[in-house]
Structure 1
Amino acid sequence: MAYIGIIGGSGLYDLMPESTKKVIETPFGNPSDAVEIGEVNGVEVAFLPRHGKKHTIPPHKVNYRANIWALHELGVERIIGLNAVGSLREDYKPGEIVIPDQYIDFTKRRDLTFYDGPQVYHISEADPFCPEMNSILYDTARNLKIPVHNSGTYITIEGPRFSTRAESKMFRQFADIIGMTLVPEVSLAGELALCYSVIASITDYDVWSTKPVDAREVMNIMKQNDHKVRDILFNALPLIKKERKCSCSLRLDNAKM
């Protein structure tokens, strides 16, 4: 049984050469696509493309609740999200990787919780990412000599449009990277007491910069980052054990009203 789930983002739609597809029905509708079960470096994983195999689902239309629920139904206890992001800092450069440890939610219209009543839970999100997996992912990238940052605040915007220059300048006062797909994925995983971490690939400087890259350069960087992300996963997955020593599994303790 796969205890690790991987949610692929922009640029990464295939992870395993051989896999079995499972169509999962959830109380919240259909996930983005069938879940693929297969092995990466000897570790069985469940892979789900966030935007669908052909990238037909924009970030504000992703059924995040169905995606997380489907992985949970398959027995997944740990999730790694793969996200393409823009940089809000000069020293967080395109082509580099960030393992974020905080986030800010700037979305507006998304279904943010599994608990719409009559059951009501208020989970703590003070430290939203799994420290155990974050450490493994960061150390693996460092050992592979991949440029990586072991902390960062990810601000999630609604999309599908990008920020105005004024918005970007505001966001960079509070965050390090920006994207459209972290929330509510991370908090929904928390509501099911799952471990959750992100490998965030920087593709460009956000529009606060006076030297934004062009589309061709972004595509080139995405291809380079795809290779880096695969290398990190290949080497990190065997180090992520089923037994959880973190406190992620305790998120629902004392959270029910």
Structure 2
Amino acid sequence: MTTRVTAEVAVVGGTGFYSFLDAPAHHEVSTPYGEPSAPVAVGEVAGRRVAFLPRHGADHRHPPHGIPYRANAWALRSLGVRQVLAPCAVGGLGGGVAPGDLVVPDQLVDRTHRRVGSFVESGACHLPFADPYCPGVSAALASADPDVRAGGTMVVVEGPRFSTRAESRHYADQGWSLINMTGAPEAALAREMRQCYAPLALVTDMDAGAETGHGVGQEEVFATFRRNLDRLAGVLTRAIEALPDPDGCSCSTWADEVGPTYEIPG
């Protein structure tokens, strides 16, 4: 008899964050939407079964616009995951953030345009998304370290290029504080999978319109993320320990009345 692999919680690792668990078992998961970014690692953290998936792949093979977002979300749900913590690299647009800050944003603006952003392919199924992040998961992340900031809007751009100064200044003028390339459609797909989802954003640089000089570069982003890996892992571990019971959370119960027109596994 084959034992079904299960996990309660998932961590989706961002740029440079390719491993998290000690001595995990790796599992190949097939989905109706193709293969996920990598085999899913499953282990234990703070007494809970945790899945880890590097969104870009273990060797960073998937650029932001090429990440198999639907396959990733479906694969995690098929293992039973109901809560998702999503560390990611972001640029700062102002609003008092600086490189090295950890932020749990509370709002999202989607400026992507080449990605499949939903599991809905037929019928009427409109996702409630006014508040895109789970309040319970967000609170666990924000309380995991006194240096973590809560609140702010993250705008997600298509990539893989960085913004022009004019674009960056426009985003800042809207009052948005963070800029990223992977937060959409990941957050909406998690909600469609009835999962509680929240990001943990590491500010790696100030975006082009928020600084003088040559503007942001790839190596600067990667280097800052590498320097903060242990810090991120510590925050995530404490947050996992403090996660609330997901039963009854609106991240899942929205679907009770709407009636999804697609398969939700698990």
TM bracket (short chain): over 0.9
User: 5+ unaligned residues in a row in structure 1: which ranges?
Assistant: none
Partner Cα separation in structure 2 for residue 205 and residue 54 of structure 1: 26
Give yes or no for contact 2:14–2:54 (8 Å, CA) kept in 1: yes
Q: 1:70–1:172: structure 2 CA closer, same or farther, 3 Å change rule?
A: same
Match of 2:88 among 83, 91, 94: 83
Give yes or no for the alignment of 1:127 onto 2:131: yes
Match of 1:152 in 2: 152
* Residues 198-231 of structure 1: per-residue CA shift (max 9 Å, x gap): 1000000000123456666544422232222111
- Runs of 4+ in structure 1 over 6 Å off: none
Q: What one-letter code is carried by the residue in structure 2 that aligns with 1:170?
A: H
Question: What is the CA RMSD across the aligned residues, in angstroms?
Answer: 1.7
TM-score (norm 2): 0.89
Match of 2:194 in 1: 193
Q: Within 5 Å, give how 1:43-192 maps onto structure 2.
A: 43-89=48-94, 91-117=96-122, 119-142=123-146, 147-174=147-174, 175-192=176-193
Partner Cα separation in structure 2 for residue 99 and residue 123 of structure 1: 22
Give yes or no for contact 2:7–2:50 (8 Å, CA) kept in 1: yes
Partner Cα separation in structure 2 for residue 192 and residue 179 of structure 1: 22
Identity of aligned pairs, percent?
A: 39
Match of 1:229 among 216, 229, 232: 232
Partner Cα separation in structure 2 for residue 149 and residue 101 of structure 1: 11
Q: What one-letter code is carried by the residue in structure 2 that aligns with 1:227?
A: D
Give yes or no for contact 1:81–1:198 (8 Å, CA) kept in 2: yes
| Number of residue pairs matched by the alignment | 252
Q: What one-letter code is carried by the residue in structure 1 that aligns with 2:238?
A: N
Partner Cα separation in structure 2 for residue 112 and residue 218 of structure 1: 26
Give yes or no for contact 1:103–1:156 (8 Å, CA) kept in 2: yes
Give yes or no for the alignment of 1:34 onto 2:39: yes
Q: What SS is found at the alignment partner of 1:31?
A: coil
Q: 1:9–1:218: structure 2 CA closer, same or farther, 3 Å change rule?
A: closer
Match of 2:17 among 2, 9, 12: 12
Partner Cα separation in structure 1 for residue 219 and residue 88 of structure 2: 19
Q: What SS is found at the alignment partner of 2:127?
A: coil
Q: 1:156–1:213: structure 2 CA closer, same or farther, 3 Å change rule?
A: closer
* Residues 130-171 of structure 1: per-residue CA shift (max 9 Å, x gap): 1011111111121xxxx3220011100001001011100111
Moved more, 126-135 or 37-46: 37-46
Partner Cα separation in structure 2 for residue 62 and residue 214 of structure 1: 21
Q: 1:224–1:33: structure 2 CA closer, same or farther, 3 Å change rule?
A: same
Partner Cα separation in structure 1 for residue 225 and residue 243 of structure 2: 26
User: 5+ unaligned residues in a row in structure 2: which ranges?
Assistant: 1-5, 262-266
Partner Cα separation in structure 2 for residue 156 and residue 255 of structure 1: 27
Give yes or no for contact 1:95–1:224 (8 Å, CA) kept in 2: no
Give yes or no for contact 2:83–2:246 (8 Å, CA) kept in 1: no
Q: CA deviation at 1:40?
A: 2.1
